Amino acid sequence: PNVERQRQRFHQFRAIRPSTRDQLIVPQGFQYDIVATWGEDIGNGEKFGFNNDFTCYFGNNPNEGVLWVNHEYIGNLGMYVSGYMGEGQRTAEQIRIEKYNVGGSVIYIRKTDKGKWSIVRDSRYNRRITANTPINLTGPARGSEAVNGATQVIGTLANCSGGKTLWNTALSGEENYEGTVKNWSTPENPMDITHYGWIVEIDPLDPKSTPKKHTALGRFAHENAAMTVGKSGRVVVYSGDDANDQCVYKFVSDGTYQRDTGKQNSQLLEKGTLYVADFGSGRWIPLDIEKTPALREKYSSQAEILVNTRDAAKLAKGTPMDRPEDIEIHPVDGSVFIALTNNTKHGNYYGQIVRLVEDNNNHESTTFVYEIFASGGPQSGFACPDNLAFDTAGNLWVTTDISSDKLNTGAYKPFGNNGLFMIPTSGANRGKATQFASAPVQAELTGPWFAPGEQTLFLSVQHPGEETEDPRNPTSRWPRGDIPRPSVVAISRK
Ligand code: FEO
Ligand code: CA
Ligand code: CA
Ligand code: CA
């Protein structure tokens, strides 16, 4: 029976109730331990960054492997990170500290005999990517006037969600870069806004590798990058632009995926077509200066279109959506699940999850149909869907992102703190959410990722205590009882 219990995957659990407690709550029979915490020594003289988001595990060993973690932003918890208290300009030193705390971490992690995960500090893989790391540009905008001639840029930031490539590298979405660049740009150290808002590719398994920003995938507030392959072998990457009335995109490579050439396939992300979704006609419209004549009214090069993707998408009549967040591809039927988190401008407070089906189930198709798979609200039990992940049985795991300042007020009162939910995509309970986890006060659960074999679920606890105004009196003291500390946890059965 012991072995049997171990084989039980995550989807059989007793639902928890919404909670407002300052704890990470998981169902009866489950436990969590902290894999990595903000500020922790990761070896090589580096420290784990702030506000962990997307996590992505590499390797087939369920008990040890490399974990890539995004570090999205500083927010008003800068009072702990850099001492910045939200009045006036940051000092050069504060900017230096904040730049170090975003980007991402590569950590080698292992489960000990006692079942607890921790960082293997002397691993050669451990390293930080920060807002100071040199990153190469690829694709049509590389070296173009539209990026002021840059072939290499400084750093990555606003790294929200992401994805894994077919060749075992991580993709990281630069999301809300605008405010961050503004906060950190000074007359002495100006930052070029056109160098941010891209999809970044990192190779966590090659410690010497230089990350890349792939300009062919467009520049906008990239939530994520969900990769799959079409029927003729072209690589397809879906990405949402998380802002009110922004669009859903997909990139289709010109070349085809060759399994045996491994990481050389990265070049596929340098040449292809970027499409924006028109949900009215069910068409993918190419944001391509040759194929869509309307774009020539405003733009004279493909590089310009890619750097100004949002505006180009509107000109091409892409459909404005209610904040497209994460996108995931169903492991069984290949349909595309898109989280629309909310759009308070339109009175959409709870959000929806859209299921898009490409014609002929071919991800290279330029036509599609869609349905609303699930709607947030007090009846369904969740609100503001954000990150998505599938287990191998095809259950959808959804984290929610009710803004910290709106939690437990007004329309959001029934939901308690943010959470993690499971929604079956087939069977009698199709579309019905049950709650698996509840976040500490003012935290968001992000980056759900199953280890191989699905005995462990990695999860980020991001921005606990985000509404803290006095650092001596934080609104959350998770996880150690002193100050709030964003951390990555590993959840497993007891
Ligand atoms: Fe960083 Fe769209 O969540
Ligand atoms: Ca997100
Ligand atoms: Ca995801
Ligand atoms: Ca969000």
ipTM metric: 0.93
Distance between CA atoms of 40 and 32, rounded to whole angstroms?
18
Using pLDDT thresholds of 50, 70 and 90, give the confidence band for residue 1.
very low
Residue nearest to atom 1 of ligand 1 (CA): 160
Taking the model in full, what pTM does it have?
A: 0.97
Closest-approaching ligand to the CA atom of 388: 3
How many structural domains compose the chain?
A: 1
Closest-approaching ligand to the CA atom of 55: 3
What is the number of the ligand 1 atom nearest to the C-alpha of 175? 1
Find the 8 Cα to ligand 3 centroid distance in Å: 22
What is the number of the ligand 1 atom nearest to the C-alpha of 323? 2
Find the 107 Cα to ligand 3 centroid distance in Å: 19
Nearest to 418 by CA among 398, 434, 438, 433: 438
What is the number of the ligand 1 atom nearest to the C-alpha of 221? 2
* pLDDT > 70? residue 97: yes
What is the number of the ligand 1 atom nearest to the C-alpha of 401? 3
* pLDDT > 80? residue 148: yes
From 84-93, 117-126, 146-155, 480-489, the region with the lowest mean pLDDT: 84-93
Q: Are 275 and 258 contacting, i.e. CB atoms less than 8 angstroms apart?
A: no
Q: Take residue 360 and report the two structure tokens written for it.
A: 């002929």
Using pLDDT thresholds of 50, 70 and 90, give the confidence band for residue 4.
low
Distance between CA atoms of 173 and 218, rounded to whole angstroms?
11
What is the number of the ligand 1 atom nearest to the C-alpha of 325? 2
Closest-approaching ligand to the CA atom of 328: 3
Find the 123 Cα to ligand 4 centroid distance in Å: 32
Say if 53 falls within a structural domain: yes
Say if 348 falls within a structural domain: yes
Say if 327 falls within a structural domain: yes
Q: pLDDT digits over 359-402, tens only?
A: 999 999 999 999 999 999 999 999 999 999 999 999 999 999 99
Find the 248 Cα to ligand 4 centroid distance in Å: 15
* pLDDT > 60? residue 2: no
Using pLDDT thresholds of 50, 70 and 90, give the confidence band for residue 113.
confident
Say if 3 falls within a structural domain: no
Q: Are 438 and 24 contacting, i.e. CB atoms less than 8 angstroms apart?
A: yes
Place of tokens 């959000």: 351
Find the 287 Cα to ligand 3 centroid distance in Å: 25
- Residue 372: domain span: 13-493
Say if 136 falls within a structural domain: yes
Choice between 459 and 3, residue whose per-residue pLDDT is larger:
459
Find the 482 Cα to ligand 1 centroid distance in Å: 27
Radius of gyration of the chain (CA): 21
Say if 5 falls within a structural domain: no
Find the 215 Cα to ligand 4 centroid distance in Å: 23
Find the 244 Cα to ligand 1 centroid distance in Å: 12
Say if 61 falls within a structural domain: yes
Q: Are 257 and 242 contacting, i.e. CB atoms less than 8 angstroms apart?
A: no
What is the number of the ligand 1 atom nearest to the C-alpha of 223? 2
The CATH number of residue 153's host domain is 2.120.10.30
Helix (H) or strand (E) holding 370: strand 368-375
Say if 6 falls within a structural domain: no
Say which residues have a Cβ less than 8 Å from residue 22's Cβ, sequence separation at least 6: 440, 441, 464, 476, 477, 478
Average of per-residue pLDDT across 34-61? 98
- pLDDT, residue 8, reads 76
Average confidence score pLDDT of the chain? 97
Instruction: Write out residues with Cβ below 6 Å of ligand 1.
Output: 72, 160, 175, 223, 242, 325, 386
Average of per-residue pLDDT across 207-221? 99
* pLDDT > 90? residue 196: yes
